[in-house]
Amino acid sequence: MGRIHPEIFFFGAGVAEGRASMRNLLGGKGANLSEMASLKLPVPPGFTISTEVCNYFYDHGHKYPKGLADGVAKSVARVEKALGRKFGDAQNPLLVSVRSGARVSMPGMMDTVLNLGLTDETVQGLEKVSGNPRFAWDSYRRFCQMFGDVVLGLKPEDKNAADPFEEIIDHKKITRGVKQDTDLNVDDLQELVSEFRALIRSRVGCDIPQDPNEQLWMAIGAVFGSWNNDRAIAYRRINNIPGDWGTAVTVQSMVFGNLGDDCATGVAFTRDPGTGEKGIYGEFLPNAQGEDVVAGIRTGRYISIKASRVWAERSGISEAERASNFSTLEESFPAVYKEFLKISNQLERHFRDCQDMEFTIERNRLFMLQTRTGKRTAEAAVRIAVDMADEKLIDRKTALRRVEPEQLEQFLHPRLDPGAKKNVIARGLPASPGAVNGEVVFSADEAVAVAASGRKVILVRVETSPEDIHGMNVAEGILTARGGMTSHAAVVARGMGKCCVAGCSALEIDYGAGTMSANGAVIRRGEYITLDGSAGEVIAGRVATVDPEMPPFFKKFLSWADKERRLGVRANADTPHDARVARDFGAEGIGLCRTEHMFFEPERIEAVREMIMAENAKQRGKALAKILPMQRGDFAGILKEMAGLPVTIRLLDPPLHEFLPREEDEIRDLAIKIGTTPEHLKQVRESLFEFNPMLGHRGSRLGISYPEIYKAQARAILEAACELRKQNVKAMPEIMLPLIGERKEFEILASEIREVAAEVFKEQGVKVAYTIGTMIEVPRACVTADQIGAVAEFFSFGTNDLTQMTYGISRDDSGKFLDDYVRREIYKKDPFQELDPNGVGELMRIGIERGRKANKSLKIGICGEHGGDPASVKLCHRLGLDYVSCSPYRIPVARLAAAQAAIEATQTKKEFKDV
Amino acid sequence: MGRIHPEIFFFGAGVAEGRASMRNLLGGKGANLSEMASLKLPVPPGFTISTEVCNYFYDHGHKYPKGLADGVAKSVARVEKALGRKFGDAQNPLLVSVRSGARVSMPGMMDTVLNLGLTDETVQGLEKVSGNPRFAWDSYRRFCQMFGDVVLGLKPEDKNAADPFEEIIDHKKITRGVKQDTDLNVDDLQELVSEFRALIRSRVGCDIPQDPNEQLWMAIGAVFGSWNNDRAIAYRRINNIPGDWGTAVTVQSMVFGNLGDDCATGVAFTRDPGTGEKGIYGEFLPNAQGEDVVAGIRTGRYISIKASRVWAERSGISEAERASNFSTLEESFPAVYKEFLKISNQLERHFRDCQDMEFTIERNRLFMLQTRTGKRTAEAAVRIAVDMADEKLIDRKTALRRVEPEQLEQFLHPRLDPGAKKNVIARGLPASPGAVNGEVVFSADEAVAVAASGRKVILVRVETSPEDIHGMNVAEGILTARGGMTSHAAVVARGMGKCCVAGCSALEIDYGAGTMSANGAVIRRGEYITLDGSAGEVIAGRVATVDPEMPPFFKKFLSWADKERRLGVRANADTPHDARVARDFGAEGIGLCRTEHMFFEPERIEAVREMIMAENAKQRGKALAKILPMQRGDFAGILKEMAGLPVTIRLLDPPLHEFLPREEDEIRDLAIKIGTTPEHLKQVRESLFEFNPMLGHRGSRLGISYPEIYKAQARAILEAACELRKQNVKAMPEIMLPLIGERKEFEILASEIREVAAEVFKEQGVKVAYTIGTMIEVPRACVTADQIGAVAEFFSFGTNDLTQMTYGISRDDSGKFLDDYVRREIYKKDPFQELDPNGVGELMRIGIERGRKANKSLKIGICGEHGGDPASVKLCHRLGLDYVSCSPYRIPVARLAAAQAAIEATQTKKEFKDV
């Protein structure tokens, strides 16, 4: 049969004028219905009016293209013919649903009308055909309610008012003395219909049309109109969906799963969306409507016997009881079950992905209402991808693209026991994932003391500073009241792979009283709390957690990723422990080993402070000599863990004032120890004060001002490497100078380090290979990369600082406006979370181009927080970096993102993209 | 006669083998001697050994090229022949000087030996020839001393020791009971020669050679050697002179101005180096050596009668006394005077610039010893340039290039009376030029109160903040203990054209006691001090100042500059007064009118604080409504002063916390006024605290967060413009958004402003032309300039902030290391004073290229401090900017620099460059 109208696509009853690939024109729903029809699957017949009509509608003052009315009439006639029912017929009426459908799913944003075609007359026909007056009048009641709301716009009078229809129903239940909607009888429902219509007449000034065609056209207009309602516009703005995509309208014949015991409705996945296990997984309700399943009003039953038995066993239900009270689709509708199984397999093979299907059984006849890609957990996503590749349903590249890199991190951290109860007292930012519980402590020293006695602690601070590192180190998790996703606490916690909830602004902390309170709950020092760092939740008491597992398919999946990726993946790690963890997760070296954390260890900080208070290079050298052996030990430990792999060690970066004590008593203690007065110490502190420490006396500027510091660090690194060399361990240190902005700065420091190296090699009698390179973190380094690149052996983009300086935004202070900027889409993304491709990325591009031009063998990486963000990793691939470096726990994420980037780069044609 | 040796250049006695243009080969001195010889001027004959020999000397282990020894011998013979004297002759000996000479002058850095050729034998000949035994032995004594020091290296034993030769002389004077060197007789001098040589023998282990040729070669070696002495290396490093330029050696016959009353020696300029007045200007000493003039041991006499009479009149000396005791060269040596006048004119015409000449008269015979470009004051520089162009000696372009743009600023500020005594108690940075005196006050309010009673005040603060503006406004000058050349005090003072000494670290200020002290001096509140902002001096008491004058030649000179330049020159001005001053100095509009200063006026700050404390947009709007009429008045005043010229007005930029009070009592007062508690006020202050305010919630971010603020400002600007329009005054406002880093930010704010404009035009019933543009001051704006440029009408580079962010350096904190970076030449220049061409300039280049590509009509300027720095102005020209904007008092500087940039750009061949 030929097409009825160019913008109308018929499906069902042996016809399929559309295809899955026509989602732009038909919307996701319409396209997949056509696709199912083309597979000869039992789809209730209907037709889709294309998105182009939507655009026409808006371009022409809410008018329709020529011939559309006629086309719709003819299409309805074709549906009537296929089903042997007639629209508006008093004996055997055809009812339809009218639904919206955009090319991407916009759940709940636009409108739907069901049971359209019901009138005072046709409801009688439905009564007869179904033999169920209550069903017929309930359907009419629902239709009136939906039509009144969606099409006639009868909404609550203000935001706080109840739904006017529900108010009438509630009133009816009270007068009838019943509790459930289902307790209302046919008379009640008939009265409700009258009362609904009276309300509509009084509020809207018109009645529900008694002509089904009028109903249909009003509903079509309402659906097109809903494309530009406030909710839909807001949703599109947030999700970056262009307004000119438009929505399609699908008009489909209604089928009913609630006409009797030979009817049912259900939803099912082709594989378990929780575990990824192969096999049908879903539930159904006999004699029910689709809404009932979705709304969860009645408890669904399993589709397969197997799943049902697992559930029964876990719930302590006998097989006999199960079989009689909870019989499955397989048991209740064996023939339909077989057919459904076949269809389900067919759909999965056809779409080559796990499907999420809706179906209805009307009088033992199966109808497929929808199929779409099934949403799934991280575990299921990886397992399904691996299994399908092994089953040759998809190739490995496709498998790798099927998993969101972010999801992989869920494998690596403990989670809250899904079955446990929790009393959430406050929410903050999900700064570092995982779930932990412990006793509340309010200072780093307290954390160390309590942890030393073998108890688990959660460190709670208004905000953390480098002084708190030793406490963070021993704590299970960290909770702060201030600071964003890139605050000190968040960054350090992610680096340590420790759970952290940051910026929990509801929290009030009273250090003096030793209490924290939020939303009325007060927690005292020593009491237990639980943190969910993935959800940002602060929970009172001790909630059980479950340990992470790394199933074999996870490793297999990552090994496939490694074969595809070009980018190297290294870790940011400051301790031997972190280095070991990172290597286990697949790190190919360390891209950033920060040395300042080592300075904060309690036994060292004193010498560090002595160094800062030194009045000349000699005194400074003396203090540094105390730290040298300890640093040498640190470096030896890390280099050994990473034997055979490069380890980039950054020399001291933060401004010196960060190392000085702040509290009065600490100042007094230190003054006594180093033989000076507290006043002098405070003077030194003041003299080191900076208005903008981010742009102050830090990084290589310290190395220029106090050459002793960098020389001592270089010595510690190279002595450690020589020691290992003597033990036949291959250490590969890469010495990195922070905050270089000018070639001469680099040259001076590099030549001092080379002098130290020559001395050390002479003293030790062995030589080790080492390189000297620089962070690229000030914009000037990017534009003068040709000059710096000519003398440096490697670059590592420090994109945290580079982002701060490129935007002129201090991340510590950005809380006041950055959220607003992201919410209002002034910035597409928070640039501290995802590398800004246009600004920061462009400076990187310039830096890479110029650096490589000056030095063909220049090795270039990235060691900012962005190194673990999938979109940023992909940008790094496109920019041609050699490697990314990230927190140990982000390494699997980076490995996958790097693989996806490589695959995407070779993909020449656009693929059909599942949503 | 042919050349003796390719690396030896003979001059004098009718021969001139070199030219002035051969300065690279012959050094400045040698080249100019040859040039004078080529002009047939009476130059004592001699020869120059080229700089290439110096390089050969260092490349070949202190050996000389083949044939050089022979060439030197032949050259000496030629000198002997020309003078009829013989080197080493006991009857009529030839004496020579051996001098260094590099291609640029390195005053005092390298060595010179005079009277070479004197030995125990030749000294007898000199006695005879001169008929003056004392002269002969004094010459021998001087030679021994110089040769011992320079050639044999007999230096003081350590830095604190006296010169060993001077010690012997002092001892001799004591034993002889005389005070002056000149009181020593021939016997004494003979003893000194013996004692000198004994000292040399004992300390160096050898004697002064008695063979003149040996003396000559040792001296030549010493001069070449001095190219690499520590002083010379340090000087070259500081002045960026390459080490391979080398020095030449000039060997020249000695002539003597101290053989009797028919002898004299002197120095003279072809024009007055102080005023630029045309006519010979200089002094001479009869019967004296050149050293005596330079050392100022005896008072010189004037060369011309005219100059002498001016001096006599000023000094109260009668014409009779003058003529007898202070007779001039014109009177004492009338024939020589005529010849000298002729030569002086000839040299000036030849070199086409004012000459600084040295001459000696030996027995009534004039010898020219040196000529070079004369150093001069700013006034003289401009006057000489203008006069010479008018005299057609040079063209106007050359005239414009003859003046350092920096010098022009000296015309615009009062200066200390050069004759006044001054007691300098401390030195700081010369932050803003001029000289002022006034009573010391320690707060802005005090300044206002004292100034209101008609007294002059100097505002003394540890550092200033925007809160001090009203005090700075009424003060004569500002003195701060902290802060650099770009500190708040310095920047604001320069903008106001007010004298400022900043960062005077010796200063201790006790606000409580009302005292400032420095180096032992204590100054109390109300006592007078004087500041010299050009020298950075703080002077106790009241020193008289002299007012600036703008002579007619100054205006003429600048009008020439205006014809050459392509760059527009605008002013940074925030008040009608500044706008008027700027227009007088030639500003072609305002490039930066900051609006925040207007917020600090005492009657407004309260409303501003009310606005900050507002809890919603409505309250904020109410507070802003109080400020609006005042701002409208400000803008009307400025726009009116600049009628017909563009005025770029920047909307509010600083973070809001800058406007809140700091002192306890101010906080209390404010709390009462706005009906809140001091605690709440402090909480607001704390909530606004920023770790890095430079990178915080400021600039257009305020406009995004609080749209009311920018809307109110836009309204004030546009209402003012409409008002003026009604008065037939052409206002040309350009509204500038600060700190834009992303196109959407600009679009949102610009569209809000356009809405306001539409409203205002409707209300007022008139329209005015206006544009909306942005500062380009974050690196991201530069790299995304194609996007921002597509929507903005103009760009103005805010190079203060752009430099801070490009380098990652806070200028407020840079004091700790920036000096060191400049001193060690890590940075060639302080990037806050001179635009960094490689980093910041490169980002500007990218920004300009991309901006213009997106928008051909984009107007681009600069409004950072750099707009008044000559090197930066030239870079702006090369980058293709449309205009620069600077402090009113820098406008003449910028006009000249812009002209020079245009001239330099068209100059295709390298010119001979005067030093």
CB distance A839–B780 less than 8 Å?
yes
Cα–Cα dist B274/A47, whole Å: 98
Which residue of A805, A817, A840 is in closest CB contact with B697?
A817
CB distance A808–B705 less than 8 Å?
no
CB distance A836–B780 less than 8 Å?
yes
Say which of B5, B470, B488, B877 is annotated catalytic.
B488
Is the pLDDT at B296 greater than 60? The verdict is no
B782: nearest CA in chain A? A839
Element (H, E) at B427: strand B423-427
Distance from CA of B465 to the nearest CA of A (A): 13
Say which of A500, A722, A863, A886 is annotated catalytic.
A863
B845: nearest CA in chain A? A783
- CA neighbours closer than 13 Å in the CB half-sphere of residue B611: 24
Chain A residues inside the 8 Å CB shell of B780: 806-808, 836, 838-840
CB A803 within 8 A of CB A840: yes
- CA neighbours closer than 13 Å in the CB half-sphere of residue A139: 32
Cα–Cα dist B901/B893, whole Å: 12
A48, β-bridge pairs: A9, A250
Report the largest interatomic distance among the alpha carbons of chain A, rounded to a whole angstrom.
105
Best mutation site among A687, A691, A782 for testing chain B: the one with the most B CBs within 10 Å?
A691
Chain A residues inside the 8 Å CB shell of B783: 806, 838-839, 842-843, 846
B779: nearest CA in chain A? A806
Mean pLDDT by 10-residue block, N- to C-terminus, for chain A (915 residues)?
89 92 92 94 96 94 93 96 93 94 78 92 93 91 92 80 86 88 89 95 92 96 90 77 90 91 91 89 85 61 89 86 90 96 96 94 94 86 96 96 88 82 89 90 92 91 84 92 77 80 89 91 94 91 85 94 97 93 95 88 84 87 90 95 98 91 84 86 86 93 94 96 97 98 97 97 97 98 98 97 96 85 89 96 98 97 93 97 94 96 76 40
Q: In which band, very low, low, confident or very high, does the pLDDT at B909 lie, cut at 50, 70 and 90? A: very low
Is the pLDDT at B298 greater than 70? The verdict is no
**Residue whose entry in the numeric block shows the structure tokens 């656009």:** A910
For β-strands B732-737 and B646-650, DSSP reports them as parallel
- Min mean pLDDT across A496-510, B39-53, B701-715 is at A496-510
Which residue of B701, B813, B824 is in closest CB contact with A695?
B813
CB B531 within 8 A of CB B435: yes
Cβ contacts of B46 within 8 Å, gap of 6 or more: B10, B11, B12, B33, B79, B96, B250, B251, B252, B253
Of B601, B633, B644, nearest in space to B733 by CA: B644
Of A737, A720, A569, nearest in space to A641 by CA: A720
> What b-and-e string marks burial along A514-533, b requiring 16 or more CB atoms within 10 Å of the CB?
bbbbbeeeebebeebbbbbb
* Residue-level pLDDT at B108: 67
- A144 flagged as catalytic: no
CB A435 within 8 A of CB A414: yes
Chain A CB within 8 Å of residue B525 CB: no
CB B704 within 8 A of CB B714: no
Report the largest interatomic distance among the alpha carbons of chain B, rounded to a whole angstrom.
105
Q: Tens digit of pLDDT for each residue in B477-531?
A: 999 998 777 677 887 887 677 899 988 888 999 998 999 999 889 999 999 999 9
CB distance A783–B810 less than 8 Å?
no
Q: Tens digit of pLDDT for each residue in B659-671?
A: 888 888 888 888 8
Chain B residues inside the 8 Å CB shell of A784: 838-839, 842
Of A711, A662, A223, nearest in space to A461 by CA: A662
List the 666-725 stretch of A: residues with Cβ below 8 A of B: 690-697, 701, 704-705
CB distance B779–A825 less than 8 Å?
no
Q: Tens digit of pLDDT for each residue in B198-238?
A: 999 999 889 999 999 999 999 999 999 989 888 788 778 76
Of B583, B746, B535, B512, nearest in space to B651 by CA: B746
A746: nearest CA in chain B? B826
Chain B CB within 8 Å of residue A880 CB: no
Distance from CA of A495 to the nearest CA of B (A): 23
Chain A residues inside the 8 Å CB shell of B739: 808
- B782 flagged as catalytic: no
Chain B residues inside the 8 Å CB shell of A658: none
Phi, psi of B36 (to 5 degrees): -60, -40
The mean of the pLDDT values for chain B is: 91
Which residue of A694, A783, A820 is in closest CB contact with B695?
A694
Of B19, B48, B42, nearest in space to B31 by CA: B19
Chain A CB within 8 Å of residue B826 CB: yes
* Residue-level pLDDT at B866: 95
- Joined together, the tokens standing for residue A225 give 């109109």
Distance from CA of B699 to the nearest CA of A (A): 11
Q: Is B384 helix (H, G, I), strand (E, B) or coil?
A: helix
* Residue of A305 and B911 predicted with greater confidence: A305
Chain B residues inside the 8 Å CB shell of A825: 744
Chain B residues inside the 8 Å CB shell of A701: 817
Cα–Cα dist B100/B113, whole Å: 9
Chain A CB within 8 Å of residue B326 CB: no
* Residue-level pLDDT at A893: 95
For A205-357, where are the alpha helices, taking DSSP H only?
212-226, 230-239, 290-295, 305-315, 319-325, 329-332, 334-351
Best mutation site among B685, B689, B740, B742 for testing chain A: the one with the most A CBs within 10 Å?
B742
Cβ contacts of B663 within 8 Å, gap of 6 or more: none
Q: Tens digit of pLDDT for each residue in B150-201?
A: 899 888 777 677 788 988 998 999 999 888 777 889 999 999 999 999 999 9
Of A534, A515, A357, nearest in space to A434 by CA: A534
Best mutation site among B657, B658, B691 for testing chain A: the one with the most A CBs within 10 Å?
B691
Q: Tens digit of pLDDT for each residue in A241-283?
A: 888 899 999 999 999 998 888 999 998 999 988 789 999 988 8
Cα–Cα dist B657/A169, whole Å: 56
List the 89-148 stretch of B: residues with Cβ below 8 A of A: none
Which residue of A744, A810, A817 is in closest CB contact with B705?
A817
Which residue of A690, A742, A784 is in closest CB contact with B810?
A690
The mean of the pLDDT values for chain A is: 91
CB B545 within 8 A of CB B476: no
> What b-and-e string marks burial along A359-393, b requiring 16 or more CB atoms within 10 Å of the CB?
bbbbeeebbbbbbbbbebebbbbbbbbbbbbeeeb
- Min mean pLDDT across A826-835, A885-894, B454-463, B681-690 is at B681-690
CB B460 within 8 A of CB B509: yes
Element (H, E) at B285: strand B278-286
* Residue of B594 and B670 predicted with greater confidence: B594
Chain B CB within 8 Å of residue A740 CB: no
Of A697, A693, A732, A736, nearest in space to A713 by CA: A736
Best mutation site among B775, B788, B803, B816 for testing chain A: the one with the most A CBs within 10 Å?
B816
Opening angle at CA B566, ends B564 and B567, nearest 5 = 125
Cα–Cα dist A100/A212, whole Å: 19
Size of interface A-B (CB pairs under 8 A): 177
Distance from CA of A659 to the nearest CA of B (A): 16
Chain A CB within 8 Å of residue B838 CB: yes
CB B461 within 8 A of CB B480: yes
B746: nearest CA in chain A? A826
Chain A CB within 8 Å of residue B240 CB: no
Phi, psi of A862 (to 5 degrees): -140, 140
Cα–Cα dist B236/B258, whole Å: 36
Which residue of B779, B824, B825 is in closest CB contact with A779?
B779
- Min mean pLDDT across B178-192, B293-307, B755-769 is at B293-307
* Residue-level pLDDT at A614: 87
Is the pLDDT at B560 greater than 70? The verdict is yes
* Mean pLDDT, residues B287-303 taken together: 70
Cβ contacts of B244 within 8 Å, gap of 6 or more: B55
Chain A residues inside the 8 Å CB shell of B824: 704, 748
Which residue of B739, B742, B826 is in closest CB contact with A745?
B826
Q: What is the pTM of this model?
A: 0.82
Chain A residues inside the 8 Å CB shell of B744: 825-827
